[in-house]
Amino acid sequence: MTWTNFLQSLYDSAVGSGIRESGVLFPSIESIHVLMATTVVGSIAIVDLRLIGYASHRRGARQLILDLLPFTWAAFALAAVTGSLLFTSNAVGYAANTQFLSKMCLLVLAGINMAIFHMTAYRRIGEWDDALPPPRSARIAGATSLTLWIAIVFLGRWIGFTVQ
């Protein structure tokens, strides 16, 4: 099966057709997707701002990360599920959309940035947890993450105006 055939089969599937043809399903799924994306970006932004050097009210960086991470991952999982459902409704169109492809690339880069942070600066968080400013590596990770997530939001919004 070719990639194009796979995309077409998603489009033609009962799920894709049902979402696309319903007057309620697409906007409902999209609303949940946007709410979950907002939760992801909001919780990540709180951590990123702390990593950049803005003090968090009564919490060190480690505690802030531990407190927010479960919400971030749960919201990310729901955003991924709802995004996948939306994708099936127009798989061929989304797969050819520059903004969609760019958003997916930036999501991968955000994940790589997070992994690098957790393998480097986070391993030494005990040394700098309450320090302001945090070490340069933490500030770079926070600024990079914040920039990537802002771009992801812009691209996500742009998709709706450019997909065929």
Q: What is the mean pLDDT of residues 123-143?
A: 95
Q: What is the pLDDT of residues 21-63, one digit of tens each?
A: 999 999 999 999 999 999 999 999 999 999 999 887 778 899 9
Q: Which has more confidence, 135 or 56?
A: 135
Q: What is the pLDDT of residues 87-114, one digit of tens each?
A: 999 999 999 999 999 999 999 999 999 9
pLDDT for res 108 = 98
Q: What is the pLDDT of residues 58-80, one digit of tens each?
A: 788 999 999 999 999 999 999 99
Instruction: Report the C-alpha gap between 31 and 49 in whole angstroms.
Output: 26
Query: Which ranges of the chain does DSSP label H, i.e. alpha helix?
Result: 3-12, 14-21, 25-52, 61-88, 91-95, 98-119, 125-128, 136-162
The answer to whether 141 touches 116, Cβ cutoff 8 Å, is yes
In the predicted structure, residue 123 carries a pLDDT above the cut 90: yes
The Cβ of residue 44 has, within 10 Å, a number of other Cβ atoms equal to 22
The Cβ of residue 106 has, within 10 Å, a number of other Cβ atoms equal to 20
Instruction: Report the C-alpha gap between 51 and 47 in whole angstroms.
Output: 6
- Dihedral sign computed on CA atoms, order 99, 104, 107, 112: negative
In the predicted structure, residue 164 carries a pLDDT above the cut 90: no
